[in-house]
Chains A and B, each alone.
Chain A
């Protein structure tokens, strides 16, 4: 079996938001929609204050609550672990947005542009009305992954089969791959380091891991 997951090494993330920008460029998402975003959390009290950068987005859960509540079957989990939305089925009821504990879904009712009322040339070219009035979210760049796999490439190792956010990460904080393959980069990283998943107590079995320390003997 294959389960594609993402690992964010919190020790490496510097909060540069390059992954956010790369995702927006790759998926042409409108203003305010960030399928990949990086939280900038403040910890402690003055003068002992730290910032922690936490990449987040759809966690591609193995037991996704968004899939259960979807009345149309638009949201479904693929055999390779990627949770996708079939935009032609979605009615935009927003039930999935409220079922997601990771605040990963968005709904845009009308076209919006980054620089005023009129679209830029690029925005006009890439505008996709099928994404209006429906729920949208990160799909681990499934088209890229599928195209790469079809060419015999390995997601997470070959950039042409890897999500844009991972390819763009300047510090190597984001890693992608098949957790069911013990030789994959994500499996090795998780074997060698302490990690956690967000809101594990909710039983969603998320496919997004956070590394926070070495696994010292």
Chain B
């Protein structure tokens, strides 16, 4: 007898808000490294953005360390680079933090050196940005390697995570404009492009999940979709356009930055903790009872 019988999926509790924190802070931090490196030629100082990115990435990793069951064995995480994206993320984290730390020290001239350091800072900043992007990609692959969670194994989640990280990085740079200096105007334009890309990636991902994941996962994503678009995309776009045309762009740009960052964090928190329903059980055939031999 043919019939698909399903056992209900359940919301995973293995990774909670601490794990979500790693995806939120790591993504935003690595995105900020890229934005900060790109802003250097415009005369923007590296240190404020570098320190914030360093702190965010480190905080995210620390939260993961708090979540694992055997924190004193944490170094075992390096044992499986052949296939584990978690190992690869950990392997990248070390040089990433060292390089960003060195760039901050040189940018601030904390260590006096007998040569000009600006060029070295630019080189280190770009090295940090590239490693940061690789780190961000690893985070995306960690999620999509989770075959037991249909909303995570959907391949288009990779682009959502990477684009969201870059968008948050631009958002943080816009927010830093309040404290450091007016961000260069290309950041406003880049923010518009990034939020359009995020809106598209999110919509595509949401539709793909609706086609293949449990209804409960789809419902969790649908619940936040309208506010995500309104706050994170429409409102942020309006504020960025205002920043582009106004002579005093710092406040609208910071508002847009806040919307980009907050919505990115909300989106990732929802994906990790609210839409993460397991595969559940399914049998495609019912047992035939009552025949001789059965």
- A residues engaging B (CB < 8 A)? 9-13, 39, 41, 43, 50, 52, 54, 56, 65, 67-74, 89-95, 97-103, 107, 109, 132-134, 194, 196, 198-199, 202, 204, 210-214
Contact = CB atoms under 8 A, between A and B. Distances in A.
B106 to A, nearest CB: 32
B70 A134 contact: yes
B5 A41 contact: yes
B222 interface: no
B79 A71 contact: yes
Given A10-B287, A41-B7, A43-B286, A69 B145 contact: yes
B226 interface: no
B87 A212 contact: no
B113 interface: no
A11 B283 CA distance: 13
A91 B69 contact: yes
A50 B283 contact: no
Contacts of B152: 98
B281 interface: yes
Given A95-B84, A202-B147, 14 more contacts: A9-B287, A10-B283, A69-B86, A72-B79, A90-B70, A91-B70, A91-B77, A95-B86, A98-B15, A198-B282, A212-B288, A213-B291, A214-B288, A214-B291
B73 interface: yes
Given A101-B147, A103-B148, A202-B147, A91 B76 contact: yes
A101 B12 CA distance: 12
A74 B12 CA distance: 22
B121 to A, nearest CB: 33
A92 B148 CA distance: 17
Interface of B: 1, 3, 5-7, 10, 12, 14-15, 64, 67-71, 73-74, 76-80, 83-87, 90, 142, 145-149, 152, 276, 278-289, 291, 293-294
A214 B86 CA distance: 45
A103 B281 CA distance: 9
Contacts of B283: 10, 41, 52, 54, 196, 198, 210, 212
A134 B146 contact: no
B147 A204 contact: yes
Given A69-B84, A72-B76, A196-B283, A92 B69 contact: yes
A193 B77 CA distance: 44
Contacts of B145: 65, 68-69, 95, 99
A194 B70 CA distance: 44
26 contacts: A9-B287, A39-B281, A43-B5, A52-B5, A54-B283, A69-B83, A69-B146, A71-B76, A71-B78, A71-B79, A71-B86, A71-B90, A74-B76, A90-B73, A91-B71, A95-B145, A97-B14, A98-B15, A98-B149, A99-B145, A107-B14, A133-B69, A202-B147, A202-B279, A211-B287, A212-B285
Nearest to A76: B80
B147 A65 contact: yes
A97 B68 CA distance: 12
Contacts of B289: 11
B142 A95 contact: yes
A43 B281 CA distance: 13
B278 A103 contact: yes
B80 A70 contact: yes
Given A52-B287, A71-B87, A107-B14, A95 B146 contact: yes
A98 B13 CA distance: 10
